């Protein structure tokens, strides 16, 4: 016997999205988190959820969050619903957005609907998913109970690689469940893997002098040239490797069939004036680590490549989110794909994220099987750019997908 069709209220969905977009939860500074959490909490309470506003203690924030651009308190929302089920589904999204710069057709914090799309900062990354989730839960809970106990986590500072959101909740034991859906993704593919990230800094030392007598000094910028060449030689080795995890549909379209590790030099700074021999040159970059690699070995590999220059440089690493992968044959993966098929009308392919996700930290620490799927299209939604957008049909379809995933 076929299940009755449950549809989200599309008008309500757009109303929710309009309200959620209006909160300027821009990170940095991330100073408006308490306002949006206080607005969301009664919505979940009205659906029978037990709601907890989780504030990060100031001493923990000071110890773990060194980014001086961040201001205000860090507030996360955990909403829990017991359905008397055997298993618990954790649903995660972040509430912060990147700054809204560039040329926008309208106010980026006022939802604009035009030609079948909605525009606004966060509509795809990932406030649209939050609005679709609420609309799905409201429609579903009017008709009965879900097949899972639910734990909804809405968090902070994902856009600045911060600890105060999902990572903090993981470490204080708030991420508990049997399976997990991260809504910080696209509607192109179901993501089952992601790269880890390490940022690195190599400070090359020299000795300053008047440039007219440069032979009396040691030019740190010139000393950095062979260091950069060593990094570039290693880059060629690193980027010849491939993961078993497929690349996204968007990357496959440009010839990348699998996730690949990356090594970049992204910043160079040295010297203070044209007629002074520079005594320091700082190189910075990042290393993207595929699931088959270890973070420790990736750092050790860079250390070995730069070991001939250890008399002239100081090398530091700042490990970020780890890599993540889920067995593509896991039943949860099949369940998510099936719900997409029923709710959105297509069977999504499986892929990995070339970037890094805070969700990987939770997956690594808890071992909860996780799929990543959200609102937006990688090549057309202009996430992080001006006029960020999403298809209206994707928003409604994503809400239907959530209903199909959660319903008994």
For residue 218, give the DSSP letter: B
Give the side-chain half-sphere CA count within 13 A for 74.
26
CB within 8 Å of 266: residues ≥ 6 apart: 284, 285, 286
CA dihedral (160, 134, 109, 68) in degrees, to 10, reads: -20
Angle at 280 between CA 277 and CA 285, to 5 degrees: 135
Strand order in the sheet with 389-391: 112-114, 117-119, 389-391
For every residue of 335-365, DSSP letters joined together read: HHHHHHHHHHSS-PPEEEESS--THHHHHHH
**DSSP at 207:** B
Instruction: Specify whether the CB–CB gap between 8 and 403 falls below 8 A.
Output: yes
Pairing mode of beta strands 389-391, 313-319: unpaired
Residue 359 φ/ψ, nearest 5 degrees: -60, -30
Cα(269)–Cα(348) distance, rounded to whole angstroms? 44
Give the Cβ contact number of residue 230 at 10 Å: 18
Q: Sign of the CA dihedral 54, 367, 346, 384?
A: positive
- pTM across the whole model: 0.90
Contact partners, residue 332, CB within 8 Å, separation at least 6: 179, 326, 369, 371
**Which helix H or strand E contains 18, and what residues bound it?**
helix 10-22
Q: Across the strands, what pairs with 53? A: 77
Query: Domains (ranges, CATH) in the chain?
Result: 10-194+323-406 (3.40.630.10), 197-319 (3.30.70.360)
d(CA 158, CA 373): 16
pLDDT of residue 2: 56
DSSP string across 45-64:
HHTT-EEEEEEPPHHHHHHH
Give the number of other Cβ atoms within 10 Å of residue 199's Cβ: 17
Question: What is the number of other CB atoms lying within 10 angstroms of the CB of residue 234?
Answer: 17
| Residue 1 pLDDT | 43
CA distance 140 to 400: 10
216-223: Cβ within 8 A, 24+ apart: 217/277, 217/279, 218/277, 218/279, 219/277, 219/278, 220/270, 220/278, 220/279, 220/280, 220/281, 221/270, 221/271, 221/278, 221/281, 223/281, 223/312
Q: How would you write the pLDDT of the chain (408 residues) with one tens digit per residue?
A: 457 789 999 999 999 999 999 999 999 999 899 999 999 999 999 999 999 999 999 999 988 887 888 988 999 999 999 999 999 999 999 999 999 999 999 999 999 999 999 999 999 999 999 999 999 999 999 988 899 999 999 999 999 888 999 999 999 999 999 999 999 999 999 999 999 999 999 999 999 999 999 999 999 999 999 999 999 999 999 999 999 999 988 888 889 999 999 999 999 999 999 999 999 999 999 999 999 999 999 999 999 999 999 999 999 999 999 999 999 999 999 999 999 999 999 999 999 999 899 999 999 999 999 999 999 998 899 999 999 999 999 999 999 999 999 998
Measured in degrees and rounded to the nearest 5, phi and psi for residue 161 equal: 65, 30
Phi and psi at 19, nearest 5°, equal -70, -45
């Amino acid at each position: 016997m076929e299940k009755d069709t449950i549809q989200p209220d599309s008008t309500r969905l757009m109303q929710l999205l309009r309200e959620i977009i209006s909160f300027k939860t821009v990170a940095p500074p991330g100073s408006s988190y308490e306002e949006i959490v206080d607005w969301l909490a009664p919505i979940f309470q009205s659906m029978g959820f037990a709601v907890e506003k989780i504030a990060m203690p100031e001493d923990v924030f000071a110890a773990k969050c060194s980014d001086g651009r961040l201001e205000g308190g860090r507030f996360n929302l955990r909403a829990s619903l017991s359905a008397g089920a055997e298993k618990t589904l954790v649903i995660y999204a972040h509430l912060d957005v990147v700054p809204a710069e560039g040329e926008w057709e309208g106010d980026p914090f006022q939802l604009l609907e035009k030609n079948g799309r909605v525009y606004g900062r966060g509509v795809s990354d990932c406030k649209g998913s939050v609005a679709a989730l609420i609309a799905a839960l409201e429609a579903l809970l009017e008709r009965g109970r879900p097949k899972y106990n639910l734990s909804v986590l809405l968090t902070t500072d994902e856009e600045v690689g911060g600890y105060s959101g999902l990572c903090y909740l993981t470490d204080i034991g708030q991420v508990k469940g049997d399976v997990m859906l991260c809504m910080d993704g696209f509607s192109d593919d179901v993501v089952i893997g992601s790269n880890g990230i390490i940022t690195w800094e190599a400070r090359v030392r020299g000795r300053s002098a008047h440039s007219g007598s440069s032979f009396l000094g040691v030019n740190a910028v010139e000393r950095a040239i062979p260091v950069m060449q060593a990094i570039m030689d290693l880059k060629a080795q690193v980027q010849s490797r491939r993961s078993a995890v497929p690349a996204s549909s968007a990357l496959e379209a440009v010839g990348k069939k699998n996730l690949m590790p990356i090594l970049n030099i992204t910043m160079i700074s040295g010297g203070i004036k044209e007629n002074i021999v520079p005594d320091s040159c700082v190189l910075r970059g990042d290393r993207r680590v595929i699931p088959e690699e270890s973070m420790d070995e990736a750092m050790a590999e860079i250390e070995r490549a730069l070991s001939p220059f250890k008399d002239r440089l100081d090398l530091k690493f700042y490990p970020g989110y780890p890599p993540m992968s889920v067995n593509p044959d896991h039943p949860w993966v099949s369940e998510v794909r099936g719900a997409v098929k029923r709710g959105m009308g297509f069977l999504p392919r499986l892929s990995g994220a070339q970037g890094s996700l805070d969700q990987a930290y939770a997956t690594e620490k808890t071992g909860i099987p996780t799929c990543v799927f959200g609102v937006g299209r990688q090549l057309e939604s202009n996430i992080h750019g001006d006029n960020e957008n999403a298809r209206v049909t994707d928003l409604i379809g994503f809400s239907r997908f959530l209903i199909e995933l959660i319903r008994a």
